[in-house]
Structure 1
Amino acid sequence: MKAINKIVLIVFQIIFSITIYAQESVQINNKLYSDSDCPVGVPSNPNPPDGTTNIRWNATTLNWTNGTGTTKNEIWFGTQGNLVKIYDGPAITSCEISVLQDSTQYYWFVICKNDSCGTQGPFWTFTTEKRYTTVWDWEDEFDNLNNWTIVGPQGLINWYAFPSSVAGSNAPELRMSWTPSFNGKSLIRSVPISLPYNWPVAYSFFFYLDYFTDPSGTVTVSVTYDGGLTEQILYQLINPTANVGPYFISDLFVTPASGSYNAQLQIWFEGYSFNIDYIYWDRIQLNAWTRDPPYPPENLTAQIIFNFAPQVKLNWQNILLDELGFKIYRKFGSQNDPGYYILIGTVGQNQTQYIDTTVLQGTIYSYQVYAYDEYMQTGSNKVTINVPIPVELISFTAEVEESTVKLFWQTATETNNSGFEVQRSQDYKDKKLSEWISSEQDWEVIGFIAGKGTTTEVQNYSFTDNLSHNLNQVIHYRLKQIDYDGSFKFSSEIEIEIQAPDIFSLEQNYPNPFNPTTKIKYSIPTVTLRQAQSDNWVTLKLYDVLGNEITTLVNERKPAGNYKVEFSGSDLPSGVYFYQLKAGSFIQTKKMILLR
């Protein structure tokens, strides 16, 4: 039953892998864009010219001419049957590809787009030259296992040359099968390979792991100089949780000061083989250079900085001054995602920083920095970073109703948004009052509205500022958006003008008749400087029809402004009542009806 379940799951994985692969790559002669009505012109004038051979493998620049009306580009690049998108952004006319395979035919095409449609150009090809600049060159394409010894101790019959090309090169290739299943370590070791002492050696191979379940075990490629007693890890994958590859793996290692003439490669798996399906390797190469390459940059790091929009700042260490400069390569996605690194910039000798200003919000990028001279280049460690979606404020408005200001704002996206601090300042327009009221714009915090953390959906916020009084003045509001890490930025300011009343007034209560509550509005006008210093003593009282005072609603000094009082008659019987406003020499009375 377990074998049947595994076969079913293998079929599902194959179908699922094909579906995902189809989304990430494009087969030759497929058209991504076929809108015959699109006005954007067709790209042309490829360089290298279509069909060119002997192109340098260590740095290749693609050039072309965009069609008329092009404002954006997509660039697709790769080997036959495995093209991936390496660029998607504003219109460009060239891009540099990082280290490629030697003696390999590559395909590429350009899509010219505007905001609504795109036109795909023809497929172009070129073939890279062989690496004739090396003096030690060892390669195995796994036509058979004559260069390898199956050491085990487990899985002695699980290794063989298989007529497939799953790892990404050409058939046949090395395959380790899960069956017959074993639990432990299974290793194969190459014949001795003579490498120079204390010398940089480039290695590369194609790789694919077909995952089944957890724990999936450890896969390692290493080099040993003492028959396997010790080893130097070149590539290691520990308990992956999904299919890995197909990838082209390449990097450098430095041989020891002695013993490197007996170098041997080792490929091994350790774990329960039942938990994987198959593992593939192909075209493993070692190349030792005729001279020392420039020393690679070390400790590459990436961090997000903000300069109106998010940017990525790269820093690295330069150990030696043996380079002409540094090339910065970038690709979409994580380090193990399909795709190619393309050149985005260069800096001079002994420069250790680069700021990428062309990143897209909400996108993952991987970077690698190469030190280069006139012959070669060597790469740093790789780093991956996710460019966040910042808080994007798309509107900030205010509405005024008497002495109440309602603020409204809207965000398109948010990232790590703790919330918004609402701040207010005011300028007094009455020049006489400026003698005793400061006109300086001092911001005060009047509230805080919690944010939504991280979201790509439109969010709406509001805040009500109930002003206690409002002399003639101009009021300013702004938002201080605060992230969870304490970083912040201010919104633009909005300005409203508050007009003080010109006359005393007492409005009719509303609702009327009422049961049991109603609201009474009244206004106190702008006064002279002398009056302002003493304010107005205001009383608002309620009387019954016989003139008996029922209650006092207001009895205090009031500056100029519009006011509202809520009255409850829950303890009173139904009937007619009167309310009266007194302020200085002003007296006004109105009637209200309580109807139960």
Structure 2
Amino acid sequence: MKSIFFITAAFFFSVSSIAQQISDLNGLETQSGRTYLFYREGNPTPYNSIYKFDPETLQDTMFLYGYISWTPFGNTSRANNDFEFFPNDSVNFMSVGNEYDIDFWGTIRRNDTLSFSIPLDIIKVDISKQNPQKVFAGGGYDHLLRSFDGGYNFPIDSIMQFAYLSMSPFNDNILFGLDSTKRLIKSFDGGYTSVLVDTSKTDDLFDSKFFYDSDQQHIYRIAKSYGKYVFLTSNNNGNQFSWTKTFESDFPLWVSNDPSISGNIYLGNLRYIYKSTDFGSTFSLYKTFDSRISGIYKKPNSDILYASTRYRIYKITPNTITVVKSFSIPFELFSYYPLKVGNKWIYDKTTIVYDFPPQITYDTVIKKVIRDSVAQNNKKYFVLKEESISGSVEYFLERIDSATGKVFRFVQGFNYPDDELLIDDLTAEIGDTVEAFRYGIWYPGGVTVLREEDYFTKWGLNNKRKIFETDNYGMPLYSLTYGLGLDSAVYGFDFGTTTYVLRGCVINGTVFGDTVLSVEKNEEIPTNFVLYQNYPNPFNPGTTISWQAPVSGWQTLKVFDVLGNEIATLVNEYRDAGRYKVEFDASSLASGVYIYKLTAGSFISSKKMMVIK
């Protein structure tokens, strides 16, 4: 039993930075055929704890505790680098890692009880399938630690100079490791001597993982080589000139082979799971997910495959995909697109038409979340009003699905599922492709990719930013900044481009940048609250009600009869400081006196009006 992980410098992690998510999924079969799944809660680093999950009972328990923290007295940490259960035993296991408390120590534990420590990295552990008393562990690039009493003791005189990676499950004298130049070596005598078997470079021990086919000839390996994640297969027990690279990616690979079916391998990469039935020579697409794969485990003697994404664990058969565990999307991700009534963004818009000479026009666009509303599909949306100095006005209905982190726009007439167009996925990671279309024209198979991440550094901020590019007409490129939302966009059209750059915004009442300019910039800001008498009055059937407010805030305007019964709500939304008017239609009302009432913050005022028919 092993786990795959990807590590960066140990002391740049903190407990507070770990989000609730799933990574490094793997599994264990008991003798009775019961499956237990193991995963890390948080990013795939060894400092995050490992949990044991029963997909039948849904019971979830801590398996190995990991952490890293900073205190006024220094750093402390515990990492779990690898673990393996004893053969035919779902209780007893060995684990390796490291701990830091004043000094750095590599550790080997049996059932989470310390057996041995040494001031060196210990990254891998294996237990012999022929003789469970033999336990090998190693790491770094120069040591192999050996126990011959089931992992209770690791005598100093048993330590060998061998950069250890893996032990064959069929012959515990066959070991794989790396030489001083990080190339693959094989030992036939338990690590005493070795030969070079693959000349390709391995960037790091942490990224290496071995899988052995039941035919005892094919061996599969994932590694990071020259900056790429690669899958290699050997058709001759890992010997010289037998290794072939058959899959390569810029992003991590997750592999599980089925020991009950020789030649069957499952490989996860980005949002896709691939399957090979020819010993890894070729792969075909098996399943597609809407989030990036973070681990897979094939249950032997069955058609069941388990896979994890950042926030879910799935049980997969050829015809079904079922969620067996899920975490909530971290609320902080929603800050990349803060939809809240009252939030406002001001953009400088530049349009260039490549004529002779080029024609350049400038505009200012103000985007506001003015209220929420329930659309015809019975889902609740925020209403965004987008208007410009040049006079154009558009309205959009958008929402964030809290269960998936996806942003949807209500659009009718294009046969979108439930009249919703996916415009963003806030859970996307670098390299993820999503069928999302914030800009451009939707078409089947079109995608938006999270191209890169950097930082937004205006206005004294240093907020993380996600940069998206859509493979679509005009190749739209836009970015979302944490705490601000959409900060820029550019897209092409026939013989020209349009660019939006955020000038300023108001988010949850906080002002960033320049927000003075608005559509009403030439109007004088009122100095006091006033509710004016409606005109005309008396009236039949329509009249105009006007008022002014010196400050921004939530405003309501309602109509009541003389008994105090509410007749109509004309305004119920956040509005900027300014002067406003609304039309009131009394066609359905009887003749008589009615009262209209304005509430704006602490200001309350009401006036009478008369309907005459």
Q: Normalising by the residue count of structure 2, what TM-score does the alignment of the two structures yield?
A: 0.27
- Larger radius of gyration, structure 1 or 2? 1
